[in-house]
Amino acid sequence: MSPTAQSTASARRVVFPFTAIVGQEEMKLALLLNVIDPKIGGVMIMGDRGTGKSTTIRALADLLPEISVVANDPFSSDPSDPDLMSDEVRQLLEQGAEIPVAHKKVQMVDLPLGATEDRVCGTIDIEKALSEGVKAFEPGLLAKANRGILYVDEVNLLDDHLVDVLLDSAASGWNTVEREGISIRHPARFVLVGSGNPEEGELRPQLLDRFGMHAEIHTVKEPALRVQIVEQRADFDQNPLVFLEKYKPQQEALQQQIVNAQKLLPEVKIDYELRVKISEVCSELDVDGLRGDIVSNRAAKALTAYEGRTEVTVDDIHRVITLCLRHRLRKDPLESIDSGYKVAKVFSRVFGVELPESDVAQKNGTGQKLGARS
């Protein structure tokens, strides 16, 4: 590695490369699809402790290309998209003022469990607003997360009211703070990623339904894979810069694939007949509301764009539909069959395809369903 490359790499925090992460295909696929289309609505990752949830999410944020922002803007406003601009920037644009542009890495914001609503949403200095007549706003974590990733570890332990606030902002793309008759709003469009361990309690069904996708991850059982993961981690810890250099070509290739997919996404089409069948699956599974239908369509399109195609196939839908629907089924406490298997079974009947072995392995909750092609 050249001295220049070394100094550049050491100038920022060293993060384990996304392409070096072994296994957990379901989680990786769900995260990538949400980055390609943030309107999917985020990912809830439930699984065992020590399975690399935080490592994977940090790796994804580090992988993403730099974005154009308005210089010195606390909300990382997009200089060209009015939907991702603060009201102040939009006013400047309407007045014909020149907007200074800068580039920065996509932010990954960690939400601590003990965070207050003021810390999350931001605060208004009422005294300053009344005495000086200016809207003195101290931005919170939602402002910092705009156009980035907001990660909530152990989201099932977070106060329900705060989860509501996060989900409302993620759905609307805006955060509004009101105090004593003074109202301030700013863009807050981010990929919401929550993780947790089912042993520590489940989220309320109403809140769970608001997450676009739900990935289940399990501890890797195969001894050879476990050894590979341990050795990779040891290599990375021993010499992170050499390890990063080794995975640089894969990282750059995946980064380009994401950029290409984001550009291609508006051109992706899904046949009317396939859309009807997706809705038929949702109807047969007795999924409440239409969120499941919408997310399944979006996720299938994102996967198609990710693979550089413009026509959604039955296989694309098969690979995402469990991720989109398994958390929307009404839970029967006496039910022993895994909800992912239920989704796969109804999908195979409606679409007239045979159930792959990976889906059958889930029947009693024993198998690890992969998002990758069966």
Q: Which residues are catalytic?
A: 291
Q: Which two tokens stand for residue 364?
A: 């009693």
Assess contact for 141 and 151: CB atoms under 8 A. Answer: no
